[in-house]
Chain A
Amino acid sequence: MEILVGVLPAFLASLVEFVEAFTIVLAVGVSRGWRAAVLGAVAAMVALGALVLGFGPTLLDRVDEHVLLVVIGVLLLLFGTRWLRKAILRAAGLIPLHDEAAAFAKEVSELGGDAPARSRFDWAGFAVSFKGTFLEGVEVAFIVLTLGATGAGYGPPALGAGAALLLVVVAGLALRAPLTRVPENALKFGVGAMLVTFGVYWTAEGIGVDWPGGAAALGYLLAATLVPAMLAVRLLRGSAVSA
């Protein structure tokens, strides 16, 4: 159960973020050259790995367990409510769905036009690829750190994130185009609900609550998050139609 709690949300969240990072790297590669694009992405992944390895053991070793549960629970609540709120609004049609193809086209049009000569290293392209991969990946690092600190160690969430990265790289290399068919909003809806669930569970545990059923409480808490979320989508859709 603890391993599943670590692997699944990390895999799903990482899938969404790595797809977005891939779009940026692809745009840099197509418009300015692959060397800078790939090196920027790899440098960002190394930096993120160092972030997780640097902070992870510190969190486990030096912070009181109850304080850790509350801090991580609150961070997960903030992060999860942000994802869930946007996913509900997108599902209800109140804000547009994220369009990976449009994001790719926009990046290519902004990046093109001033690519350097082939003999010079494209530091600007490297910076865009690094920044895009780092910012998308920092959400993955955050999820790996928080799930790892409160669950069955860093292995399961790191495995989930690694599996998602591999899947995106393989799919991206095969298609050589933005990964537009990934159901991003459905994934964000599910992951947002999971993160809110974990956030409530661990925050409450940190302040002294014993949930009936122990870790099995995550099941009914997830239901208590998903049901109102789906109801919110229906109500908002209905109010948008009648307006």
Chain B
Amino acid sequence: MKGRSNWLGEAVGLLVDDGAVAIGVLLAVAVAALLVGPLGDGVGWLLMGLVWVALAVSLVRAGRSNS
């Protein structure tokens, strides 16, 4: 039988498995919130773009570590 497992670690793991992506997403939201004044409704697309930047960086790193 398995021993006691780390419930807190597993709970955190439900939201985050690559810390860099999570930080990137949070930064993207912060930047969007700061720029909503000057950029108006266009900041929605900026948020989408920044989320994709965070994802892309993670995917490239994963791709490199597998090659």
Q: List the B residue with the shortest CB-CB distance to A79.
A: B15
**A228:B44 contact, CB within 8 angstroms:** no
Complex CA distance for A85 and B20, rounded to whole angstroms? 12
Q: List the A residue with the shortest CB-CB distance to B21.
A: A81
- State which size class the interface on A falls in: 35 or more
- State which size class the interface on B falls in: 35 or more
Within 8 Å CB of A82, what residues of B? 15-18, 21
**A212:B41 contact, CB within 8 angstroms:** yes
Q: Flag A62-84 by CB within 8 Å of B: 1 or 0 each.
A: 00000000100111011101101
A2 within 8 A of B: no
Complex CA distance for A12 and B13, rounded to whole angstroms? 21
Contact of B22 among A78, A236, A243 (CB under 8 A): A78
**A74:B36 contact, CB within 8 angstroms:** no
**A81:B14 contact, CB within 8 angstroms:** no
Smallest CB separation, A46 vs chain B (Å): 18
Within 8 Å CB of B51, what residues of A? 77, 81, 196, 199-200
A208 within 8 A of B: yes
Smallest CB separation, A208 vs chain B (Å): 5
Within 8 Å CB of B33, what residues of A? 70, 207
Q: Flag A179-201 by CB within 8 Å of B: 1 or 0 each.
A: 00000000000000000100111
Consensus secondary structure, chain A interface: helix
Within 8 Å CB of A88, what residues of B? 59
**B59:A77 contact, CB within 8 angstroms:** no
Contact of A89 among B1, B15, B56, B62 (CB under 8 A): B62
With most chain B CB atoms within 10 A of its CB, the pick from A82, A128, A201 is A82
**A243:B67 contact, CB within 8 angstroms:** yes
**B43:A204 contact, CB within 8 angstroms:** yes
**B63:A94 contact, CB within 8 angstroms:** yes
Complex CA distance for A179 and B17, rounded to whole angstroms? 25
**A110:B66 contact, CB within 8 angstroms:** no
Smallest CB separation, A170 vs chain B (Å): 27
Q: Flag A110-123 by CB within 8 Å of B: 1 or 0 each.
A: 11001000000000
**A70:B29 contact, CB within 8 angstroms:** yes
Which of A134-142, A147-155, A159-167 contacts the other chain? A134-142
A232 within 8 A of B: yes
**B44:A204 contact, CB within 8 angstroms:** yes
Q: Could you jot down 26 A-B contacts, CB within 8 Å?
A: A70-B29, A74-B26, A82-B21, A85-B17, A85-B58, A85-B59, A86-B17, A94-B62, A94-B63, A95-B62, A135-B10, A138-B11, A139-B14, A200-B44, A200-B51, A204-B32, A204-B44, A207-B32, A208-B36, A209-B36, A209-B40, A211-B44, A212-B41, A228-B56, A236-B62, A243-B66
